[in-house]
């Protein structure tokens, strides 16, 4: 400034401008050791807390205190060493230890020869900005923590721990709504336990009023709480914090409780701080609501699971009883039916070889009915055995099973003209013997219902359906009306007359039971006179039977 050629009036104007500036200004002598300060403006005094008389002649590093971050200081030293400008963010401390943030820009001042004679520092107070940013970062971290907790107590502990660490409160209390009461759920720090007590929502207390209004209450200095709630002081024996704040915890307009903070010194509750606390209370309410809803859903799932398990056990017991009854009845009926057949044959042989037509027809009806009944009984026994037989899971090569069944058909019915088209089939997990019964039922069904064709076509293939395999058998036989397809897997239900197609109508019902035990399903599609496709689905990962 000594080398300026500006008129004196302009120098005076410049001095007035620096004094009037709301940002701090400082000039350091670059030609003296340790760059002592030779000028500060009033804004710098207000920002730093140091009067000019205490800082002139000293280096600015006295403001840094014990700040552990060396990066900004190194940037300043490099700029001074190289004689250039730089801007950096600093954490500094006032004489009373109060932290403040300032954005410092330093610029070199050179003489006519280009030598750096001084450094000019321009300081902007960014404390509010940096504290707000820090609070938002903390808020994001707390939100992430709350999203992961699974209990109300854990959520409350996070909130109380955070507000006491961040805001500097000496105590915190959370009260939760329970019916018409407001009960203390947790306390932390040096909270006045006798001040924040259990109460009723209808009481004249700060907590109850906050829940009714939905707005926070601030008591910034000593006596404000007692003045606003004189009966509260009498109720608590005169115990009260110097400063307190009460924040509502609501979710979708439904009051859940309040968050209370206490201070032993007056507290201003700056706007950014108030926003942070109100948001924390809201996040806590959201977490509590989520946890309670999850608990309700979890209990409903447990209740429903228990109910289903009970129904399953009852159904299993009923099925076991039914299977035992079916086995017993079918086993006990076998002997009488065989007696009917045997003694019918003996009776016929005891009579003359030549009987009248009516008598021969009667004997034929009795024998045919008895044979059909025996077939039905055998089918019932097979179903019962398939249901009672333990499931032995092992890798099953379906291609080999189909080829074996195919060869048996060719041997049993060599006269049939059948065009077989068997594609590659997968290896699955299941019970080999039970799956063989299913495949036999499908192949026999296709062979039976194509016998009216001069040349039958039976096609076998598999489809990968993601989590399961579908194995299908298609024929060009008589087909069926799809409207009645659900009857095909019911015992003794048939869509064609017994006189047309023999059988007990049991094999497909047995196949469905077997596939159900494997966690699979049976499939059926058809059109009259066109043909039918039967098959089953089988999960790639076999689910163990209960």
DSSP letters for 166-231: HH--SEEEEEEEETTEEEEEEEEES--TTTS--EETTSSSHHHHHHHH-S-EEE-STTHHHHH-HH
Mean pLDDT score, 291-296: 88
Residue 33 has pLDDT above 50, yes or no: yes
Mean pLDDT score, 22-45: 91
Residue 250 CA, chain-centre distance (Å), reads 24
Residue 514 has pLDDT above 90, yes or no: no
Q: What is the pLDDT of residue 2?
A: 45
Residues whose CB falls within 8 Å of the CB of residue 172, separated by 6 or more in sequence, listed in order: 159, 160, 163, 164, 187, 188, 189, 191, 259, 260, 261, 262
DSSP state of 83: T
Q: What is the pLDDT of residue 442?
A: 93
Q: Residue 358, SS3?
A: helix
Neighbouring C-beta atoms of residue 336, cutoff 10 Å:
12
| Confidence label for 237 from pLDDT (cuts 50, 70 and 90) | very low
Q: What is the pLDDT of residue 190?
A: 65
Neighbouring C-beta atoms of residue 456, cutoff 10 Å:
20
| Confidence label for 239 from pLDDT (cuts 50, 70 and 90) | very low
pLDDT digit string (tens) for 434-464?
899 899 989 988 998 898 888 999 999 999 9
Q: What is the pLDDT of residue 246?
A: 92
Ramachandran area for residue 281 (φ above 0: left; ψ -120 to 50: alpha; else beta): alpha
Give the helix ranges, DSSP H, for 176-247: 206-213, 224-228, 230-235
Phi, psi of 195 (to 5 degrees): -85, -50
Contact between 521 and 510 under an 8 Å Cβ cutoff? The reply is no
Q: In terms of residues, how long is the chain?
A: 546
| Confidence label for 498 from pLDDT (cuts 50, 70 and 90) | low
| Confidence label for 503 from pLDDT (cuts 50, 70 and 90) | low
Residue 60 has pLDDT above 90, yes or no: no
Mean pLDDT score, 537-542: 86
Give the integer Cα–Cα distance in Å for 424 and 426. Answer: 7
Q: Report the share of the chain in percent with pLDDT over 90.
A: 25
Give the integer Cα–Cα distance in Å for 176 and 178. Answer: 6
pLDDT digit string (tens) for 323-376?
666 666 656 666 777 778 887 888 878 888 787 888 888 878 887 777 767 776
The more confidently predicted of residues 473 and 483 is: 473
Q: What is the pLDDT of residue 69?
A: 72
Structure tokens at 71: 């990066």
Strands 394-397 and 427-430: antiparallel
Mean pLDDT score, 409-419: 88
Residue 387 has pLDDT above 70, yes or no: no
Q: What is the pLDDT of residue 510?
A: 83
Residue 491 has pLDDT above 80, yes or no: no
Residue 470 has pLDDT above 90, yes or no: yes
Structure tokens at 494: 């048939």
Give the integer Cα–Cα distance in Å for 459 and 476. Answer: 9
Mean pLDDT score, 492-500: 61
Structure tokens at 206: 């700060």
pLDDT digit string (tens) for 87-131?
999 888 889 888 888 999 999 999 999 999 999 999 999 988 888
Q: What is the pLDDT of residue 369?
A: 77
Q: Report the share of the chain in percent with pLDDT over 70.
A: 85
pLDDT digit string (tens) for 264-290?
888 888 888 888 888 888 888 888 888
Q: What is the pLDDT of residue 328?
A: 63
Domains, the chain, ordered by start: 8-125 (3.30.450.20), 131-293 (3.30.450.40), 391-539 (3.30.565.10)
Structure tokens at 513: 């039971």
Q: What rounded mean pLDDT belongs to the chain?
A: 83
The more confidently predicted of residues 370 and 293 is: 293
Mean pLDDT score, 55-61: 88
């Amino acid at each position: 400034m000594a080398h300026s050629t500006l008129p004196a009036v302009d120098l005076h104007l410049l001095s007035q401008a620096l004094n009037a500036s709301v940002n701090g200004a400082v000039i350091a002598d670059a030609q003296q050791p340790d760059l002592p300060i030779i000028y500060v403006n009033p804004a710098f005094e207000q920002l730093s807390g140091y009067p000019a008389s205490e800082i002139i002649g000293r280096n600015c590093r006295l403001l840094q205190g014990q700040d552990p971050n060396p990066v900004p200081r190194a940037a300043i030293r490099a700029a001074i060493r190289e004689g250039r400008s730089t801007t950096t963010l600093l954490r500094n401390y006032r004489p009373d230890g109060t932290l403040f943030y300032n954005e410092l820009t330093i610029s070199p001042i050179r003489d006519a020869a280009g030598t750096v004679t001084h450094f000019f520092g321009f300081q902007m107070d960014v404390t509010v900005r940096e504290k707000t940013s820090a609070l938002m970062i903390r808020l994001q971290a707390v939100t992430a923590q709350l999203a992961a907790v699974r209990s109300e107590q854990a959520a409350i502990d996070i909130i109380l721990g955070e507000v006491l660490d961040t805001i500097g409160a000496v105590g915190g209390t959370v009260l939760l709504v329970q019916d018409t009461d407001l009960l203390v759920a947790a306390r932390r720090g040096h909270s006045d336990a006798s001040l924040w007590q259990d109460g009723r929502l209808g009481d004249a207390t700060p907590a109850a009023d906050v829940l009714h209004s939905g707005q926070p209450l601030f008591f910034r200095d000593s006596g404000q709480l007692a003045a606003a709630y004189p009966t509260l002081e009498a109720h608590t024996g005169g115990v009260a914090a110097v400063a307190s704040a009460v924040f509502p915890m609501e979710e979708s307009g439904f009051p859940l409780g309040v968050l209370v903070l206490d201070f032993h010194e007056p507290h201003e509750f700056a706007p950014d701080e108030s926003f942070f606390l109100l948001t924390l209370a809201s996040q806590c309410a959201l977490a509590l609501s989520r946890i309670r809803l999850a608990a309700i859903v979890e209990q409903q799932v447990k209740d429903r699971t228990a109910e289903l398990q009970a129904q399953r056990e009852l159904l299993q017991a009923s099925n076991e009883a039914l299977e035992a009854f079916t086995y017993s009845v079918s086993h006990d009926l076998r002997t009488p039916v065989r007696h009917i057949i045997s003694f019918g044959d003996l009776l016929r042989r005891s009579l003359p070889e030549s009987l009248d037509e009516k008598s021969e027809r009667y004997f034929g009806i009795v024998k045919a009915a008895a044979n059909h009944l025996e077939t039905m009984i055998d089918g019932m026994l097979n179903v019962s055995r398939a249901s009672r037989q333990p499931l032995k899971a092992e890798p099953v090569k379906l291609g080999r099973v189909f080829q074996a069944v195919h060869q048996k058909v060719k041997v049993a019915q060599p006269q049939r003209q059948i065009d077989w088209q068997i594609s590659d089939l997968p290896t699955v997990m299941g019970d080999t013997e039970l799956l063989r019964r299913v495949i036999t039922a499908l192949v026999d069904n296709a062979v039976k219902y194509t016998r009216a064709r001069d040349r039958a076509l039976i096609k076998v293939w598999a489809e990968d359906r993601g989590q399961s395999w579908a194995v299908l058998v298609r024929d060009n036989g008589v087909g069926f009306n799809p409207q009645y397809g659900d009857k095909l897997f019911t015992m003794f239900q048939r869509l064609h007359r017994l006189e047309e197609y023999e059988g007990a109508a049991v094999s497909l019902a047995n196949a469905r039971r077997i596939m159900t035990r494997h966690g699979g399903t049976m499939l059926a599609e058809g059109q009259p006179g066109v043909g039918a496709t039967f098959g089953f689905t089988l999960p790639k990962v076999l689910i163990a039977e209960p």
